[in-house]
Structures are given as C-alpha cells and as structure tokens.
Amino acid sequence: MPLRIVRLGTPRAPDEGTRIGTVRRPPRGVPKAEFASQDWYDVWYPLLSPSRELMQQGQQAQSDKEWQAFVKHFRKELAQPEAARTLDLLATLSHHSALSVGCYCENEARCHRSVLREELASRGADIATDPLSTSQRHQGDMSMKIAFIGLGNMGGPMAVNLHKAGHEVRAFDLSQPARDKLAADGVGIAADAHAAVQGAEVVISMLPASQHVDSLFLGAGELLAQLPAGTLVIDCSTIAAATSRKVAEAARAKGVAFIDAPVSGGTGGAIAGTLTFMVGGDAADLERARPVLEKMGANIFHAGGVGAGQTAKICNNMLLGILMAGTSEAIALGVANGLDPKVLSEIMRRSSGGNWALEKYNPMPGVMETAPASKGYAGGFGTDLMLKDLGLAQENAAAVKAATPLGGLARNLYAAHSLAGHGALDFSSIIKSVQKQG
C-alpha cells in the first residue's frame, strides 16, 4: 500500500527520536476508499519543529518583518546537519509515498509548517494536498477520539461541546447523576477512567483538586501507565502548579505530552463554549491541543511552561474572590440604605466600580436572571472551590515571598462563609455574610 504521512512535525516529541503513530480512522472529507487504499501515519520529527523560544517568537509575530525574522532563524535550525538529513530523507520518500504537511494555525501563511513545505519543495519533494489543513480542522472536519474525565458543572458542558463538534468522546465521572446527564446529551459513557482512555488520542481531565489529579494519573488510578507514547493529556483542573509539573515529568518519561489548561468563564462560558484557557506547557503541544480547546473556548493564552497556566489561574481567581467580596459589600451597603439593588448595580456597572461580577455574575438575588444568585445560589462555582483556589494562591505567595494581604483576607472570609454551612453554594453567596439581617 502507498504510505500517507500527515501532520508532519507535530507534536514536538520529548526525545531525539522519530515517533510514528498510525491514523486509525479516515478524517472527515477523505473518502473511505481512499483511506483504505493507503497506510496513513503521523510522523513526528522533533528536529523539524522550531525550538520552544523560536516557536513563541513565530506565534507572537505581528508584522511581516517579525515573521521574516522568525523564518530566517527557523531556516538556520533546519540547516543543521541532522535536520537537513531528515529533510533529504523525506524528500526521497515523497517520490514513493504521499507526503503531506499539516497545519493547525489560523493563518496558514504564518505557520512554521509552511516553511517546512518550502524547504521540502526546494529539495524536489512531491507534497500532496493536505486534507487536514486548518480550514477543515476549524470547521470540525476531523474527528478525534477524546477521553474526558470529570463531568461536573464545568467538565460536563465542555465534554458536550466536544461531542457536538463531531469528536468521538468517551467520558467518565464517579458521580452516576453526572454520567446520566451526559448520556442523555448523547455523549458516550465509559465504565471507568481506564475504559475511557482506551484508544484515545487526547485525554482531558477536569477534577476538583491536586490530590484527585495526582491519584488519577500517578496514584491508585495509574492512568498514565496505560497511555501509549504520543497521547496528549490536557488537564483543565485548577490545582497546584507543583502537581502539574510532577505529572508532566512522569508523562514526559513515557513520551506522553502534557499541558495544564485551567479555565475561566464559569458555567455559562462552559455551556456556551466561550471559556478562557490559560495554558502551561510546550508551545508545540499547545498547537496540537488548540483545535480541541477551540471547541470549548473563545480565548487561549500560552502563559509559559508547565505549571504557568495554574499560576495564571490562581492569580485570576484570587482577584475574582476579592472583587466578589467587595461587590457584595457595596451592594449590601446600598440596600441597607434603601437603594434598589438593580439600580445601584447598574450605576456601579457604568461607573469606575464596574467589574465582571456586576457585568455577568451579580451576587444579589433578582438582579440578574441568569446568575446563580437568582437560582438559590445553585450550580455555578462553589464556595469551597473558591476557598481551595484562594488557599492555593496563599500557598504560592508564601513560597515566593509575595505579599497578598487582600488575598489572605478574602480566603478568611470564604473560610468563615464555608464554616457557616454555605460551602456547597455558589461563591457569590458571600453576600450573605454582609447582608443586614431583619
């Protein structure tokens, strides 16, 4: 059979060897007869991926001058003896096989793989038209096999969006009601986490805390030991950066790619597919994950290496906890003075006190119909989860000797609120602790 090579150079492998993964299903838009008549492979050549620093330079290029500077430096890397020999080999193979160089970027003209195509073409390579180009991937034309572990208020809607995008999702959660809810939405449910990851190209986890992630991948769950080399793990949990780095190190030893990608945007963003992802990890691994993340979110930021996404997330949530407590105090003060909470909220929203809580997540019942406050503080982002994140921020601040006095105060406020029996309520219920009684 002819050999078909797709997605050349992605992802960046964790060692100096070449990794080959078989493409098991025809991508959408590729006739089954064509797929059956060829052997399809992903060929990952780390020597043909830009160095991490150079990849970031290319992603950040805004002008033609900046892009040409990236191209110049990338061509120098490709001119190194081992990379040059690899290009020569692929050019030779292309005369006997269908050689394709995939691209995942929004702007294919500014993708490092376009430079690869030019380098291969200059060596006389026969490059086939790529059925896995960005235009098709971003329209959902390629189905991936995805395992999703953790189907709570955030994870459930995220898994549903991947299913709606045409991906083959197998999901699992310890909660039977959570499993039943997703099954009703048409998502495939596995018997356990190990069954969920069988044959998965991508594994996504969305779990409550560090100990759950550690246990799933390294502890009693030992899920990492089951994953074959080349699998991509995307952990969307909000956990300690040290835990992310620990799991990533173990994954790297197995040839498994790992990125931490905690989210912001609340349950509304999870349902609407407009979440913000804060990603830590190798730039090439992020590019591999991007088509999946884009089905769940509207904003994707590369914060840095593994663990950087978690650091960005705890900074964000520390600020969120502070501003929600402050917004609650201000509304409670106005109401105690006889002001209409809707009118006061609108005044502050359009004034210098405007913030995300007033825009999207008002803590006062009846002010904003879609906010958890108007639903008995059910669903949303729990007080105990906010308390956990504020605790992570304080642990991190202590480790790096950073001063976070307001973050510490916010943590104490949420701890007292939880002890008062409100831990399961949405974190905006903090307003209860400052409302005038009677």
Residues designated catalytic: 313
Distance of CA 86 to the CA centre of its chain: 32
- 260: helix, strand or coil: strand
Q: How far apart are CA 380 and CA 420, in angstroms?
A: 19
End-to-end distance of the chain based on CA atoms, in angstroms?
Answer: 80
Q: 57 and 76 in contact (C-beta within 8 Å)?
A: no
Polymer length in residues for the chain: 438
Of 227, 247, 229, 228, nearest to 237 (Cα)?
A: 247
Of 89, 73, 150, nearest to 124 (Cα)?
A: 89
Q: How far apart are CA 385 and CA 388, in angstroms?
A: 5
**Quick one: residue 337, left, alpha or beta (phi over 0 = left, psi -120 to 50 = alpha)?**
alpha
Quote the DSSP letter at residue 236.
-
Tokens found for residue 423: 């831990």
How far from 159 is each of 65, 195, 253, 293, 325, CA to CA, in Å? 40, 16, 28, 11, 31
Quote the DSSP letter at residue 127.
B
Q: 11 and 292 in contact (C-beta within 8 Å)?
A: no
**E runs forming strands in 57-195:** 98-99, 145-149, 168-172, 188-189
- 107: helix, strand or coil: coil
How far from 411 is each of 188, 211, 355, 396, 407, CA to CA, in Å? 38, 20, 20, 13, 6
Quote the DSSP letter at residue 382.
B
Q: 328 and 431 in contact (C-beta within 8 Å)?
A: yes
Q: 381 and 425 in contact (C-beta within 8 Å)?
A: no
**In angstroms, what is the C-alpha Rg of the chain?**
24
Tokens found for residue 63: 């002008």
Kind of pairing between the strands at 275-280 and 297-304 = parallel
